[in-house]
Structure 1
Amino acid sequence: MTKLTPIRATVRPLDLPQHLFEVELTFPAEAVASGATAALPAWTPGSYLVRDYARFVDRVRRVEGRREWPLEKLDKQRWELPASKRELTVRYRLYGNDLTVRTNHVDATHAQIIPAATFLYLEGQLDRPVEVSFEGFPTAWKVASALPQKRGVYAAGDFDMLVDSPFELGTFRTRQFKTGGTAFELAFTGDHNGDEGRIAEATKKIVEAAGAIFGGFPFKRYVFLFTFTPKLRGGLEHKDCTSLISDCHAFDKSEGYHALYQLVAHEFFHAWNVKRLHDPVLGPFDYSRENPTRMLWFHEGLTSYMEHLIVLRAGVVPWSHAAKELTRCWSEQVQRPGRLEQSLEESSWDAWIRLYKQHEFSPNSSVSYYDKGEAVAWLMDATLRAGSRGKAGLPELFARLWARHGEKGLTDADVRRAFQELSGQDPAPFWGAYISGRAELDPAPLRRAYGLTMVAKAPWESLSAAEAKDPAAQRRARAWTGLVLAANGPSVQNIIPGSPAAKAGLSFGMEILAVDGWRTASSGEAQRLLAEPGPGGKATVLAADRGRVFEVRVPVVESPDRSHGLVPDPRATAVQRATFVAAYGQPFPSAPVKPGTRR
């Protein structure tokens, strides 16, 4: 097989405080001998939304010495390259001022380079190697990347590998550890109030717990890119690395560490689930358009559950925290109106146009394959455990799929087959209820497998002892109109379909000016006044819609809202207790977990 000559890419700063940088690409003569089309990806794998990265690109031109020619733009993200008997160099400017794990961000303190948002590829030549170098950045800056490098040149075997390898440049801090024959590197960017030694130690335990599921690691080197900045959280998986963003002020409480550990576990588990073990649609990719799949519930939803299991087995998060997170998720899903409208398969397929492009009515018409998928994964794990008398759960399902399919591609039929083998049950009823169907979540498998009972509590059942004796507090706790207000003011964020507020004509974006003659300056005041009449009463609401003020009477009914908690059965059998320990690596709980509250 003829070895392809690589494309050479050079990245240079133009004006870091203004978030401007430049990319120069030199295409070998063999690649452009007959002309070619250069394109910028419209999206990046792992984030299922067309982001139109080309909107950040301008001044695209061919360069030869001091001479420059603009390239003909064919559409929003493609440029025509002329035929050339020699190397052809293209240079262009980029703007990067969006600090997420999916977008470029450069300033005077660091540069985060996301390859999909940065580098053009040649259509029909995605298998051509790419070599990346950096010039002109501050001399004190280092580069963190999962790509191998030699004398400052980072080599990607093809464009897919390049896209899967983000770069972090700056004065970041580093830590390393080795386990299971693999070297792990951690790069920390940004100030924060956490303990990096503690984070590194927990990360080591997390990767060991995940690796134990699969009998080792499918790589010899892996890089964690940690970025800390106020009020942000997110992660994006790659084959040999992951990008993580965390709130820099979150670590004054243990919950801040727990949230970061869950994020680490989630993205690291993706090194198997989706980066290697995946629906064939998800690689090789078409970077120009959507790549829809019905299996994001498996790749993301099951991973959202596995993050809890991994941090529990690693011993870095207590069961009490994980249980609260799981029951909070459960509470949200069983009360989300969209649960009756959209299945997990439909949510997966429509991710590109619905999950990442939410509108006001979305909670009433859709579910998230992340959150609903997490709850269904919990039930799937319990169903597997109950069917195998505690011998197998989701970890064993993943291990079997990995051993059987590896990186060869994975279908829904493959998952069903493994489920049937491990549980001894026909998968059709489970899939029909929860994956292709819209059945209500049934907590019975949690009790059968683990000896855990899901208990629902009404708002008035969660009152303090003193409030429970107060008739007015009881009346307000029972009240409900179906009106969901924004956190930053008394404007309507959502209206539950069929609710009293919906029947009264209130709708999205309206402002609640007063209730029963009392001015409402905040959403809290509005909700308190709406609850005052109690079930059976009515509230007079003064509202504004696009500047027009009007008045409606809103009936108040008893609240259907419920929070959920897990109660361990003191009479749980030895098999149930052993199943819990085998699944989570922690002792069977001795005290009830308080109900989770809605987010």
Structure 2
Amino acid sequence: MPPRSTPPAPVTAVLRPLSLSMHELEVELTFPPEAVAKPTVAALPAWTPGSYLVRDYARFLDRLRVEDGEGRPLAAEKLDKQRWRLPASPGGLRVTYRLFCNELTVRTNHMDAAHAHLVGAATFLYLEGQTSRPWEVRFEGWPKAWRVATALPRRERGYAAQDHDTLVDSPFELGTFRTHGFRVRGCEFQVAITGAHPGDENRIVEGTEAIVAACARIFGGFPFKRYLFLLTFSPKARGGLEHRDSTSLLADPHQLERAEGYWDLFLLIAHEFFHVWNVKRLRDAALGPFDYGSETYTRLLWFHEGFTSFMQFAIALRAGVVPWPWVARKLSASWTDNTTRPGRHEQDLEASSFDAWIRHYKPTEFSTNGTVSYYDKGSMVGWMMDAEIRLASGGASGLDALFALLWARNGDGHLSDADIRAAYRELAGKDPGPFWSRWIQGCAELDAEAISRAYGLTFTVRSPWEALPAGEAGDPDAQRRARTWAGLAFQGASPSVQNVLPGSPAARAGLGYGMEILAVDGWRTATAQEVQGRIGDFAPGDRVRVLATDRGRVEAYDLILSESPHRTTSIGADPRAGAAQRAAFEAWTGQPFPGKRP
């Protein structure tokens, strides 16, 4: 037998708070002699997997110092915004730097007197060409009452990561968090909750356990032995970021004052946990191993994120943690947006996926008119594919069967568009080409026909005047106001224009983004509501003069108003649904078909 190779020596990281109140963290990295015997380049990632935006984490790094193994200072040459050339040092190198940690998201570092949430990509320099080297992370100088929560295994001297990718994929939470645990199918789960809130933590944990169990039923178990949910409450916060064996979650504590706050949180948990399989293991080849220095492009985010956004509803429904009427309203709102958004004619799902770096994460005023969301539209297209599979299987299975099939075939490995097509062909019994060319690579309108046939659901499309409340439905003035349309959109109460819809009266008149509407028909308009109200004084076909300011100059614009083209879709249950449709609905949602049986 050949001699067993010696495993590489680890990089040692020691993290110390310089000032909790000033959000300053010191990172000390010790690189072993074998790693720095020759000149090397140290780099800080520019982005973190799961969030497709170059965040330039190096802008938070300063005071970089380099010493040899004897503590003698050495010079490091900065090569670009995030890379430093380190001199050769046969006795090892110590690199120390300061990080500013004051951005509370699941993608960035945050620390204060209450807690610390540390993201690997934003924290640890790595040696280029040596990402397979193991790491050991220790914490020194933190408050005595604080503990550490991470998916990394505990070692005598700290926490161990088998390589840099694992380190980046394992966030740390430090503080006095509350820990809850449960077991499902022999696997250990922990929920570490940070921050005050008025809610019931037992309800949160029990709901999380039900979500976990619902996923286990799809895949037959879990690809890990331990999993960690890091949940932080902070006002007006919401977000999630998936990792292989953990997830970071942010939620607004005040949302738990209402039942919908729990439902929204459970959807977030279901979404991020489903990523255990979809994207963290079943993944496009571009999505790991990663190039942390620049953008990594994929055309499959419609599948990784969009289809996960559909599955979150099925998982939460089957877990019994959200009610169908609420989900129906969420699906109705998404269907409405994706059948009325002007950008649906401009961008397909593959393009939306590819351009995530410059469009989804960097929206502009024009985004509504020129783009679609691979999350939201991907979810609706996933529902359509689910229905096709449900119809082909006689109601027995849906999109969950496609994921189970891909997991059985590909496991923890790379996934291609061809793999997804092949699974669709097998389960739906159809050539995938037409579906892909219309709704994934093309801009065809969403089609609810298969969903209606599969599940006995109705998609009712209403104009604004048809959707008036009962007390106004027969009022001629209310009817006229609901019909009259200028094509202006505002954000909040301000009369500043957020969007001008293409081809609308406002667009034809020359109004544009950012203009402030000062007056309509001579009436001063101080709010968006007043603008819409004065426009509603007229009827479709009328001409109205609008005063607006653009870069300090006031100009007059003549709008010829038209009838509103906007349509709202409401999803409901068809009382005429047959037994097969009702059974399919119950198989999909795990809940009874809404309404009485015929």
Q: Normalized against structure 2, the TM-score is what? A: 0.98
Question: How many Å separate the matches in 1 of 2:75 and 2:461?
Answer: 65
1:534: how far off?
2.2
- 1:564 is matched with 569
Q: 1:392 aligns with which of 374, 388, 397?
A: 397
Are 1:37 and 2:41 an aligned pair?
A: yes
1:335-484 equivalences in 2 (<5 Å): 335-484=340-489
Question: How many Å separate the matches in 1 of 2:44 and 2:38?
Answer: 20
CA contact (8 A) 2:74 2:87 kept: no
Q: 2:516 aligns with which of 485, 492, 511?
A: 511
Aligned length: 592
- 2:553 is matched with 548
Q: 1:225 aligns with which of 227, 230, 237?
A: 230
Are 1:241 and 2:211 an aligned pair?
A: no
Are 1:205 and 2:205 an aligned pair?
A: no
Q: Detail structure 1 runs of 4+ shifted over 4 Å in the superposition.
A: 64-67
- 2:25 is matched with 21
Q: CA offsets, 1:148-206, max 9 Å, x none?
A: 01235000000000001000001111111111111100111111121111000000000
Question: How many Å separate the matches in 1 of 2:398 and 2:186?
Answer: 27
CA contact (8 A) 1:531 1:556 kept: no
1:59-458 equivalences in 2 (<5 Å): 59-64=63-68, 67-458=72-463
Q: CA offsets, 1:53-102, max 9 Å, x none?
A: 00100111103566434421011110111111112100000001100000
Question: How many Å separate the matches in 1 of 2:525 and 2:149?
Answer: 52
Q: CA offsets, 1:370-391, max 9 Å, x none?
A: 0110111111101111122212
Question: How many Å separate the matches in 1 of 2:392 and 2:264?
Answer: 32
Q: 1:57 aligns with which of 61, 66, 76?
A: 61
SS in 2 for 1:278: strand
SS in 2 for 1:168: strand
SS in 2 for 1:14: strand
Question: How many Å separate the matches in 2 of 1:318 and 1:298?
Answer: 25
Question: How many Å separate the matches in 2 of 1:175 and 1:363?
Answer: 42
Question: Structure 2: which 5+ runs fail to align?
Answer: none
Give % identity: 60
CA contact (8 A) 1:360 1:494 kept: yes
SS in 2 for 1:581: helix
Deviates more, 1:528-537 or 1:351-360: 528-537
Q: CA offsets, 1:275-312, max 9 Å, x none?
A: 00001110000111111000000000000000000000
1:466: how far off?
2.0
Deviates more, 1:38-47 or 1:380-389: 380-389
Question: How many Å separate the matches in 2 of 1:450 and 1:254?
Answer: 27
CA contact (8 A) 1:388 1:424 kept: no
SS in 2 for 1:466: coil
**Which residue type is aligned with residue 283 of structure 2?**
H
Q: CA offsets, 1:366-411, max 9 Å, x none?
A: 1110011011111110111112221221100000000000012100
Deviates more, 1:474-483 or 1:294-303: 474-483
**Which residue type is aligned with residue 6 of structure 1?**
P
CA contact (8 A) 1:59 1:70 kept: no
SS in 2 for 1:453: strand
Q: CA offsets, 1:321-368, max 9 Å, x none?
A: 111111100101111100000000000011111111111111111111
Question: How many Å separate the matches in 1 of 2:255 and 2:454?
Answer: 35
SS in 1 for 2:413: coil
Question: How many Å separate the matches in 2 of 1:70 and 1:511?
Answer: 54
Question: How many Å separate the matches in 1 of 2:446 and 2:395?
Answer: 21
CA contact (8 A) 2:393 2:427 kept: yes
- 1:596 is matched with none
Question: How many Å separate the matches in 1 of 2:478 and 2:229?
Answer: 49
Q: Normalized against structure 1, the TM-score is what? A: 0.97
- 2:16 is matched with 12
SS in 2 for 1:183: strand
**Which residue type is aligned with residue 116 of structure 2?**
A
CA contact (8 A) 2:75 2:86 kept: no
SS in 1 for 2:472: helix
CA contact (8 A) 1:567 1:591 kept: no
Are 1:582 and 2:597 an aligned pair?
A: no
**Which residue type is aligned with residue 153 of structure 1?**
G
